[in-house]
Amino acid sequence: MHKYQISKMRNIVAGNWKSNKSINEAREWMSVMGEAMDSMPNDVRVIIAPPAPYLSELAGSDRNGILIAAQQVSAFSDGAYTGEFTANMLVSCGVDFALVGHSERRADFNESDEIVAKKVRRCIDAGLGVMLCCGENLASRDEGSQETVIKEQLISALEGVSSEEMTGVVVAYEPIWAIGTGRTASADQAAEMHRFIRHYLADRFDADTASKTSILYGGSCKPSNADELFTCSDVDGGLIGGASLDTADFQLIIKSDSSY
């Protein structure tokens, strides 16, 4: 018997465009998806993370319930940090969430666990939702240390975070070896890691907090595998990269996440 109530979980499908699409393509995507939202299941929350230059416009557009996420956020507060954009700025633009700790940011932009933790704190203090990404690399998976890696990432990222503050945090489990590779974690692998994360949250906070925290799977999720992944008991939805670029694929994935 789990310590948490599965029925209280919140289904979320979030898209991450990464550095793709022109502003016109972004507008077109939002217009098509905004209309399609009327026929999407109402138990799935939809989030999209466009490139930063488009955030303000898309957040202010007619988005029919689609939430907007930044793909990253500064670890600093407002001030003399050329090129950075802060959690406060994102909130002032109507942005709802920020992705924090995505493996591409960790690997390509040297974002350490310490920086990730600072970003989590900045977002929480600004009232910006956090989509906290964690995931092991192939070497860790091959040596069987994936749980240790994820636990260390979560301990560090959530240091000082209270259970009340967790209401603004979504966790995305994204095995690095599955991101953009076409290689997806099996349903068993995803279920095992999501169960592990849920239990960790129950130990770290409490059963109620663990039950209310959405835990998303990310890594080559697409219409053909979304059903199988989302039916795993602790998988509340997905963080979708490549397949979020296409509105038809994205809609199919959203439908796969419905509990109805």
Catalytic residue IDs: 102, 174
Q: What is the C-alpha separation between 149 and 144, in angstroms, rounded?
A: 10
Indicate which single residue of 11, 16, 140, 209 sits in contact with ligand PEP (rule: CB under 6 A).
16
- Helix crossing, 113-126 with 146-157: angle to 10°? 40
Under the binding rule (CB under 6 A), the answer on residue 179 touching ligand PEP is: yes
Mark 146-175 with x for binding to ligand PEP (rule: CB under 6 A) and - for no binding: ----------------------------x-
Residue 145 exposed, middle or buried by CB count within 10 Å (0-12, 13-18, 19+): middle
Shorter beta-carbon distance to ligand PEP: residue 202 or 254: 254
Q: What is the C-alpha separation between 259 and 231, in angstroms, rounded?
A: 9
Shorter beta-carbon distance to ligand PEP: residue 91 or 245: 245
Q: What is the C-alpha separation between 218 and 237, in angstroms, rounded?
A: 9
Residues 225-244 that bind ligand PEP (CB under 6 A): 239-243
Taking the complex as a whole, the smallest distance from the CB of residue 236 to ligand PEP amounts, in Å, to 15
Shorter beta-carbon distance to ligand PEP: residue 55 or 243: 243
Shorter beta-carbon distance to ligand PEP: residue 40 or 99: 99
Taking the complex as a whole, the smallest distance from the CB of residue 54 to ligand PEP amounts, in Å, to 17
Residue whose beta carbon is closest to ligand PEP: 241
Q: Judged by CB under 6 A, which stretch of 37-45, 148-156, 191-199, 218-226 contacts ligand PEP?
A: 218-226
Under the binding rule (CB under 6 A), the answer on residue 220 touching ligand PEP is: yes
Indicate which single residue of 50, 101, 129, 219 sits in contact with ligand PEP (rule: CB under 6 A).
219
Which residues of this protein are in contact with ligand PEP, per CB under 6 A? Answer: 16, 174, 179-180, 218-221, 239-243
